[in-house]
């Protein structure tokens, strides 16, 4: 039950959703992709803060409310909350910590402009940190940094939090107390010490840590109306917030090194496509371990591909030691494109998988057929990318794509992408995502190899930057990117598009998703 029967806001209790900030940020961008304005979410967030305060204090008539507002979305939530509180009878003052000319968030600017005449809210510009003294108020609201905080507090935020902590009245933080890391619970010196924190959409894991409790106080969760589609379907947010950009101080290899293992006397193109797709998706180095003729052919086609030539016309058990040695140098491995299904190759695949235990790994094409024969159990950092027929083979039965994905993920202990008109992506826990991007013409040969290359590059990027691989998020991002790339290629090439056309569009899709081009 909600306190005072309030709707849309809830005291946190065990069993309620907990989402890391990576998910929250990705879902917000996805919501915009599907047509839901962030302005609407900000409106709902501000109203929810006002609802919680009314739940705590009852009648708001004549109450003095002071809001400390930053320049980002958290500040916009605070200004919106102030408008709702004022319309319920409170006397509200908003202290802008930064000049309004440098406010970053467009919706924050809009909400500030709405009340700029000063009849609803009193807007006060902080000129110097020395302007910030403890407030004698009924409510003081921290709307400064939100989920964006990392590291120590700087001025004017440091002085604002000192004033907040020393003020009288109910102390409320919006989303996350300023200074507290929402994922770890670590708090910077001088962080906001709230009595109530109103967090948006779902609790963040750091807010539940013991070390954060003195800063969080009572934790309330506000349902702000984010559409379920944003959480179910892959979108640009999965690229922007799950696949980090190269650091500014990058050197060769820091952005991700990958190894593609594949090729045979039957198939030359598949491993080359996967290797080049990894580059297009941002890998710094892409090595190709393949039979000698395949490796040399691939490097001749594109000199960016680094060949690791193996003896013989197919991959056999004799190749395993060389492959494992190369795998030790990279952040993620892709296994399968063009391998073939000779008995010697299947035995080699089994040994490779045994030796790669725990390594981030993508398995596709003939690699899938090999593990289906072997019934090999895998590990959480593995992504399998079967099409519908391969999925039925892995599951031992046909069925609906999502059910196949769930079954395979559980039985193989790996994340699974069942490719099709809608891609179904499931992890062993049973949690699933979907991807809607793509066009029918992508059923042409080689596009699956492009997906393999993009996926292994995305895995490698996260690992190279010491982030949890999070295969479900990586697979969501890669299927979105390749589907959008296929759509763009189709707009130019029509029915005649090829896998090369698709991979050439990959960098532009990634750039657009990040908002950097």
Q: pTM of the full predicted structure?
A: 0.93
The pLDDT score that the predictor gives to residue 1 is 36
Residue positions counted in the chain: 517
Burial 442-459 (b: 16+ CB within 10 A, else e): bebebbbbbbbbbbbbbb
Do residues 437 and 479 make contact, with C-beta atoms less than 8 angstroms apart?
A: yes
The pLDDT score that the predictor gives to residue 319 is 95
The pLDDT score that the predictor gives to residue 104 is 81
DSSP designation for 211: G
- Pairing state of beta strands 361-363 and 170-174? unpaired
pLDDT-based confidence at residue 10 (cuts at 50, 70, 90): confident
Average pLDDT over residues 346-371: 94
Q: Is the pLDDT of residue 251 over 80?
A: no
pLDDT tens figures, 82-91: 999 999 999 9
The pLDDT score that the predictor gives to residue 146 is 85
Structural domains of the chain in order of their starting residue, each with its CATH number: 3-232 (3.40.50.10260), 236-244+255-514 (3.40.1190.20)
Q: Is the pLDDT of residue 462 over 90?
A: yes
Average pLDDT over residues 356-385: 92
Alpha carbons 377 and 411: distance in angstroms, whole number = 7
Mean pLDDT of the chain: 94
Burial 148-178 (b: 16+ CB within 10 A, else e): bbeeebeebbbbbbbbbbebebbbbbbbbbb
Alpha carbons 37 and 33: distance in angstroms, whole number = 9
φ, ψ (nearest 5 deg) of residue 312: 95, 175
Q: Is the pLDDT of residue 416 over 50?
A: yes
| Structure tokens given for 432 | 């699933």
Alpha carbons 244 and 247: distance in angstroms, whole number = 8
Alpha carbons 174 and 168: distance in angstroms, whole number = 18
Q: Is the pLDDT of residue 249 over 80?
A: no
pLDDT above 90: percentage of residues in the chain? 88
pLDDT tens figures, 290-300: 999 999 999 99
pLDDT tens figures, 110-125: 999 999 888 999 999 9
3-state secondary structure labels for all residues of 118-182: CCCCEEEECCCHHHCCCCCCCEEEEECCHHHCCCCCCCCHHHHHHHHHHCCCEEEEECCCCCECC
Do residues 426 and 402 make contact, with C-beta atoms less than 8 angstroms apart?
A: yes
Q: Is the pLDDT of residue 255 over 90?
A: no
Q: Is the pLDDT of residue 402 over 80?
A: yes
């Amino acid at each position: 039950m909600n306190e005072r029967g309030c709707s849309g806001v809830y005291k946190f209790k065990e069993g309620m959703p907990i989402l890391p900030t990576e998910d929250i940020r990705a879902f917000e961008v996805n919501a915009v992709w599907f047509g839901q304005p962030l302005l609407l979410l900000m409106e709902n967030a501000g109203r929810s803060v006002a609802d919680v305060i009314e739940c705590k204090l009852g009648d708001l008539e004549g109450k003095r409310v002071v809001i400390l507002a930053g320049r980002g979305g958290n500040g916009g939530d605070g200004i919106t909350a102030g408008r709702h509180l004022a319309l319920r009878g409170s006397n509200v003052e908003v202290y802008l910590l930064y000049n309004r000319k440098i406010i970053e968030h467009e919706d924050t600017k809009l909400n500030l402009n709405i009340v700029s005449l000063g009849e609803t809210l009193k807007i006060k510009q902080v000129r110097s940190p020395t302007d910030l003294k403890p407030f004698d108020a009924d409510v003081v609201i921290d709307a400064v940094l939100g989920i964006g905080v990392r590291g120590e507090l700087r001025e004017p935020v440091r002085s604002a939090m000192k004033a907040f902590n020393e003020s009288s009245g109910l102390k409320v933080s919006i989303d996350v107390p300023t200074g507290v890391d929402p994922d770890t619970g670590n708090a910077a010196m001088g962080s906001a010490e709230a009595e109530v924190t109103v967090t948006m959409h779902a609790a963040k894991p750091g807010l539940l840590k013991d070390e954060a409790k003195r800063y969080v106080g009572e934790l309330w969760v506000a349902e702000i109306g984010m559409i379920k589609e944003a959480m179910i379907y892959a979108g640009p947010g999965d690229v922007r917030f799950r696949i980090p950009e190269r650091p500014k101080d990058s050197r060769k290899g820091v952005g991700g090194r990958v190894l593609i293992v594949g090729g045979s006397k039957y198939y030359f193109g598949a491993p080359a496509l996967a290797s080049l797709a990894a580059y297009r998706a941002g890998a710094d180095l892409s090595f190709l371990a393949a039979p000698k003729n395949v490796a040399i052919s691939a490097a001749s086609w594109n000199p960016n591909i680094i060949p690791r030539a193996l003896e013989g016309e197919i991959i056999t058990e004799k190749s395993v030691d060389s492959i494992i040695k190369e795998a030790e140098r990279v952040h993620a491995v892709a296994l399968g494109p063009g391998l073939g299904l000779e008995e010697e190759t299947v035995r080699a695949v089994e040994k490779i998988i045994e030796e790669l235990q725990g390594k981030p790994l993508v398995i596709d094409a003939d690699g899938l057929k090999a593990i289906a024969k072997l019934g090999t159990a895998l590990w959480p950092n593995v992504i399998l990318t079967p099409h519908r027929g391969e999925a039925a083979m892995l599951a031992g039965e046909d069925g609906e794509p999502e059910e196949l994905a769930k079954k395979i993920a559980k039985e193989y202990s790996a994340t699974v992408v069942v490719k099709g008109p809608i891609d179904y992506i499931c992890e062993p826990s049973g949690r699933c995502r979907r991807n809607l991007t793509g066009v029918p013409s992508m059923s042409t040969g080689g596009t699956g190899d492009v997906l393999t290359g993009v996926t292994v590059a995305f895995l490698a990027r996260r690992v190279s930057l010491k982030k949890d691989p999070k295969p479900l998020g990586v697979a969501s991002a890669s299927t979105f990117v390749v589907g959008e790339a296929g759509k763009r290629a189709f707009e130019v090439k029509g029915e005649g598009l090829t896998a090369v056309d698709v991979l050439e569009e990959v960098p532009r899709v990634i750039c657009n998703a990040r908002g950097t081009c």
